[in-house]
Amino acid sequence: MKTLVNTIANTNTNFNNTNKMEKINVAAASQLVAGNRAEEQEEKTNLRVIKIKPAGNAKMFRTLAKAIAAGATTLIVTTRVDVAGCGYVWFGIRKGYTELDGKLLLNAQIWNYLMAFLMGKELPEVTEFEPDREICCQSEWLAEVAAEVEKLTAITSEEYNESEEGIGYLAKKYHFSNGKVVMPAEAMEDITDLLN
């Protein structure tokens, strides 16, 4: 009987210790998330953003590549399609509290370069700077991009913003080790529809 009581006492102690460790892990994860959010907020507050006027796709790509070679650590790309039917990204490349923003027309080589940087992989050589002009339907192309990016990362977040006119927009972001891909926001009449 004494052995059974000791076994139960040891089991309870182990359970309590495990429970305490789980609570500590949850608290640590919460603190990490809160710390990351605080850093993001501080970075947004102190961020120096420099917009680069378009100077040709090759020059814009070289500027991006030079920033990466100079130690830029974070890349944010937002996918779009222009009036000529070319896919492009608005990019922001950051080092510390400075961000360079610009527009880069896409082709397969440039897209592969951007994705390699985002994933922390070896950067491929880019020799072609002319955009692909095969995009015929914006929504289909953006859906293909989203499907491709979803295969590369499971970490996503969504952000809802509402205009003064009451129109809401939901944007999905795909997070990588060196930045994120932001898809164009979808208009929504009521964010609570997502709860149904």
142 burial level (CB within 10 Å; 0-12, 13-18, 19+): middle
Rounded to whole angstroms, how far apart are CA atoms 53 and 60?
9
pLDDT on residue 152: 94
Rounded to whole angstroms, how far apart are CA atoms 143 and 164?
28
Residue 29 has pLDDT above 70, yes or no: no
Cα angle 181, 144, 119 (rounded to 5 degrees) comes to 35
Residue 23 has pLDDT above 60, yes or no: no
pLDDT on residue 22: 55
The Cα-based distances of 57 to 79, 103, 159, 173 in angstroms read 16, 8, 30, 25
The two three-digit tokens of residue 22, written as one number: 């789980």
The Cα-based distances of 195 to 37, 189, 191 in angstroms read 25, 13, 8
Residue 7 has pLDDT above 50, yes or no: yes
pLDDT, one tens digit per residue, over 114-165 is: 999 999 999 999 999 998 876 667 778 888 899 999 999 999 999 988 888 8
% residues pLDDT > 70 (the chain): 76
Q: Which residue has the higher pLDDT, 190 or 130?
A: 130
User: pTM, whole model, 2 decimals?
Assistant: 0.72
| The CA-based dihedral angle spanning residues 43, 96, 124, 157, taken in that order and rounded to the nearest 10 degrees | -10
The two three-digit tokens of residue 154, written as one number: 């499971």
Residue pointed to by tokens 């590369």: 152
62 burial level (CB within 10 Å; 0-12, 13-18, 19+): middle
